[in-house]
Chains A and B, each alone.
Chain A
Amino acid sequence: MTSPLTYVARHLQALLGALGHLLRQPLGTLLSIAVISLALTLPACLYLLVKNARTATGSITEAIELTVYLKTDVSLERARQLADSARARREAGRVTLISADEGLAEFRKYSGFGAALEALQGNPLPHVISLRPRSDRADPSSIASLQRYLGSWPEADIVQVDNEWVRRLSALLGLLERVFQVFAALLAFGVLAIIGNAIRLEISARRAEIEVTKLVGGSNAYVRRPFLYLGGLYGLLGAALAALWLIALAAALEPWLLQLARLYGSGFQLVGLTTEELGGLLGGGTLLGLLGAWIGAARHLSRIEPRQ
């Protein structure tokens, strides 16, 4: 039975051995890591593009407003009750009731028809409830659900909302997200192939060593271990370099994007990777490296047996 200390020491030795191996072949290592990093940078870029597009359009979607024109015979008391019930909906953000009197006063003030309105015997305007969805519920399906709910009121005369452009924008961002997922899957496969091939070459180069190790009783797990660490290191370093590419790319593009945003009067700020996302990139790269090494090692190590 292996003691925990010995077990950890053997793994540490395999890790240091893999690191030493990478350092002994700096050019080859750098080239492999550069290729892996480029394969990881592309989907990461797309991810950041979608994320920033969502952030940039978030303030626009918050401007969506649903307006309910109540029937003219609905009392102010009833209109208040309806406004309260709208507020209770989880999709609802800010709900404002504009009474018929307030509406008329506003119309009188801004329309320029003040004198003409004096001639009216009563107030022809209905009470109006104006509703803005919560920012996290401004997607087309939530807005449609809200619209159906408001339209189901017997007291509602017209429910007005213009969300067609929101649906188009959302569909476009959804498409970009799907493109990101497809690219991520394809390039993850590419990273697996790159690392698997690097490990295959490494195994071929160390064939004699593997044969001797197996001859003296080295198990497949023992023989495989340094190659797994090598693959993991390739993935981790590739992901770290990809993170650096992203930082450099963001730094290069930020002034242009901010200038563009200013032209549209937007306070848009470029959003980079959060700590969790950076951890995800590094962890994902390492896992891909381990998996690629596992596939490469499992396939080729089983074919190597000691010879005499």
Chain B
Amino acid sequence: MIQFEHVFKRYPNGREALQDVSFRIGAGEFVFLTGRSGAGKSSVLKLVALLERPTRGSVLVNGQDTGSLPARAIPAYRRRLGVVFQDHQLLMDRPVYDNIALPLMVSDTRYRDIDKRVRAALDQVGLRAQERALPLELSVGEQQRVGIARAVVARPTILIADEPTGNLDHTLARDVMQLFARFQEVGVTVVIATHDMALVREFGHRELHIDEGRLLGGASAS
């Protein structure tokens, strides 16, 4: 569950990214975060991932107020989240397998469990055959799938994605979105920031629309 209560976010350069934003996303829900570029979608995701802290207001994730989390508790908090980016943020000098295994490595998972879970994640995203390939040897769509596999391999309860289909054509974007839908079916809360309204309409999930840092619609959980 994710809950924003009267959240304001002002960056050091003076930009007001979020102004009095309140919403609630229930456990296992699939929500689209929509709005133009610079509207404040990424700021919402950054606050959930604790890449930023709110200037005012509170952000509750799974009942925990992230504002009260000390710095030393942040790594353990992030291990319970899956994060996907438009630019994938992969380690380009490591094979696909190692990229996907990274969240399990940092959480001191046993090697034999890592192997099972990485292979399961590779199967889920259809990249089993490319496990030894370097990211640069893959297409953009495949790289995005590696990013998704890395985000879900540690079995997070929440999966957030910032413009995950931004670099993909419509067919690939649909495939990626269906992948996210499959994770929601198994109980994962999915939050996707996108400006691809065609996809939003096609998948028909709840939409939180943000414009100039203000939430304009979809605040209540369905």
Binding site for B on A (CB under 8 A): 2-3, 5-7, 9-10, 208-209, 211-220, 222, 305-308
Contact = CB atoms under 8 A, between A and B. Distances in A.
A7 B91 CA distance: 23
A37 B105 CA distance: 35
9 contacts: A208-B89, A211-B89, A215-B49, A215-B89, A219-B75, A306-B51, A307-B51, A308-B46, A308-B162
A298 to B, nearest CB: 14
Contacts of A220: 75
Given A216-B150, A217-B78, 20 more contacts: A3-B110, A6-B110, A7-B108, A212-B91, A215-B49, A215-B51, A215-B78, A215-B83, A215-B89, A216-B79, A217-B76, A217-B79, A217-B107, A218-B106, A219-B75, A306-B51, A307-B51, A308-B51, A308-B85, A308-B162
A213 B51 contact: no
Given A308-B42, A308-B46, A217 B91 contact: no
Interface in B89-123: 89-91, 102-103, 105-111
B62 to A, nearest CB: 15
Nearest to B90: A212
A222 B77 CA distance: 15
B215 interface: no
B89 A212 contact: yes
A158 B150 CA distance: 92
Contacts of B77: 217
Interface in B26-57: 42, 45-46, 49, 51
B75 A218 contact: yes
B47 to A, nearest CB: 11
Contacts of B89: 208, 211-212, 215
B45 A219 contact: no
Nearest to A307: B51
**Closest 6 interchain pairs by CB?**
A217-B79, A218-B106, A2-B108, A217-B78, A219-B75, A216-B103
Nearest to A223: B106
A10 B102 CA distance: 12
Contacts, number: 66
Nearest to B73: A219
A209 B91 contact: yes
Contacts of B108: 2, 6-7, 10
Given A6-B108, A7-B108, A308-B85, A213 B46 contact: no
Contacts of A3: 110
Contact of A217 (B42, B46, B106): B106
Nearest to A212: B89
A208 B78 CA distance: 17
Interface in B164-179: none
Nearest to A305: B51
A245 B49 CA distance: 53
A212 B84 CA distance: 11
A216 B102 contact: yes
Which of B77, B107, B108, B154 has the most CB atoms of chain A within a 10 A radius of its CB? Answer: B108
A307 B49 CA distance: 11
A214 B90 CA distance: 13
A115 B109 CA distance: 102
Contacts of A222: 75, 106
Which of A9, A208, A215, A307 has the most CB atoms of chain B within a 10 A radius of its CB? Answer: A215
B7 to A, nearest CB: 17
A216 B94 CA distance: 16
Contacts of A219: 72, 75-76, 106
B103 A217 contact: yes
B221 to A, nearest CB: 25
A219 B72 CA distance: 8
B159 to A, nearest CB: 13
Which of A10, A220, A305, A306 has the most CB atoms of chain B within a 10 A radius of its CB? Answer: A306
Contacts of B45: 308
Contacts of B83: 215-216
A213 B111 contact: no
B210 to A, nearest CB: 16
A216 B85 CA distance: 12
Contacts of B49: 215, 306, 308
A209 B93 CA distance: 10
B78 A216 contact: yes
Contact of A214 (B46, B75, B105): B75
A63 to B, nearest CB: 66
A10 B114 CA distance: 13
A216 B104 CA distance: 9
Contacts of B107: 217
